[in-house]
Amino acid sequence: MSNIEVRPLGYAAGAEVLGLDLRKPLSSTEVDQVNAAWHQHLVLVFPGQDLTPPQLIEFTGKLGDIERNENVPYYRHPEYPEVLLVTNKQVNGKPSQTRNTGRNWHADLSYTDRPAKGSVLMCKEKPDVGGDTMFANMYMAYETLSPIMQKFVDGLEAVHDITLIKGFNRRDPAQVADLKAKNPPIVHPLVRVHPDTGRKSLFVSERVRNFVGMTEEESQPILDFLNMHATSPEFVYRHRWNLNDVVMWDNRCTLHIALKDFDQSQPRHMMRCSMLGEKSGYVLPDEHEEGSAKSALVAVS
């Protein structure tokens, strides 16, 4: 009999899970309980879990198929490709390319055709204060739109672009060129139906360039509104990290942002595993982009 206790941490999202030692394999009952809590609270916090990379991989693998980070191969753990290192510590004597990762609102791997199902982040080192992460409930973001706006966004497709990662073009130029080649702009529905809960959520972020069939100029005011609405304080849970916290979020119905609210001379070192999500995207053909541009020119000529 499992002794799991789930304590809500926020109204919009977030719950603390007690009574589990993630260094040990989860039973099927425990997996079911974690999944139930995950679907209810979207973001789960497992405090006091000092995991090794293999233990983090094993826990993540109990909840979904493991992502091997092939789309971002430069930032992986040298021995465990399933583990992405999010750190401001030097790597090979150079500043880490992930030291400013996550500085704008996003869903993990939305620039691929299989955005992450979920992610699990382990805090190994942290600054004295700050370095928080905020999560937004995208169910609430959709459900609080007016019926007319819901009908409008239900039919839109969004173009997600890796180059809109904040600070992306300040990374190593050779790596940037390769990442752009590996990850061309990709299209996802703006509104997605969660495969487990059946609820609709917005799939928008600050890494969306435009909507299919619309110019960037036409798209931007709509994107500005949706991103502002989706990250309203009443939809957000802010996590203040403790050492050895493990935080797991449902990437299909949340956004998150890593805050730069700490002394950058102090270490912030995290390990992240992600689960493969459902295939939902397609690469926008070049001729489609050209056609949209031509249509816009015709419209104003």
Q: How many C-beta atoms lie closer than 10 Å to residue 264's C-beta? A: 13
Question: Is 272 among the catalytic positions?
Answer: yes
Annotated active-site residue in 160, 239, 252, 272: 272
Give the single-character DSSP code of 245.
Answer: -
Output phi, psi for 150, to 5 deg: -60, -45
Determine the Cα–Cα distance for residues 82 and 80; give it in Å rounded to an integer. 5
Annotated active-site residue in 41, 106, 192, 268: 106
Determine the Cα–Cα distance for residues 82 and 70; give it in Å rounded to an integer. 9
Q: CA of 209: how far to CAs of 57, 155, 163, 212, 217, in Å? A: 33, 17, 9, 10, 10
Give 87's strand partners: 269
Determine the Cα–Cα distance for residues 203 and 194; give it in Å rounded to an integer. 11
Question: Is 103 among the catalytic positions?
Answer: no
Determine the Cα–Cα distance for residues 199 and 139; give it in Å rounded to an integer. 7
Determine the Cα–Cα distance for residues 152 and 210; give it in Å rounded to an integer. 15
Question: Is 106 among the catalytic positions?
Answer: yes
Q: 3-state DSSP helix/strand/coil percent for the chain, to nearest 5?
A: 30, 25, 45
Annotated active-site residue in 41, 239, 256, 268: 256
Annotated active-site residue in 108, 161, 245, 250: 108
Give 119's strand partners: 249, 274
Question: Is 194 among the catalytic positions?
Answer: no
- Alpha carbons within 13 angstroms on the beta-carbon side of residue 111 total 22
Residues identified as active-site: 106, 108, 256, 272
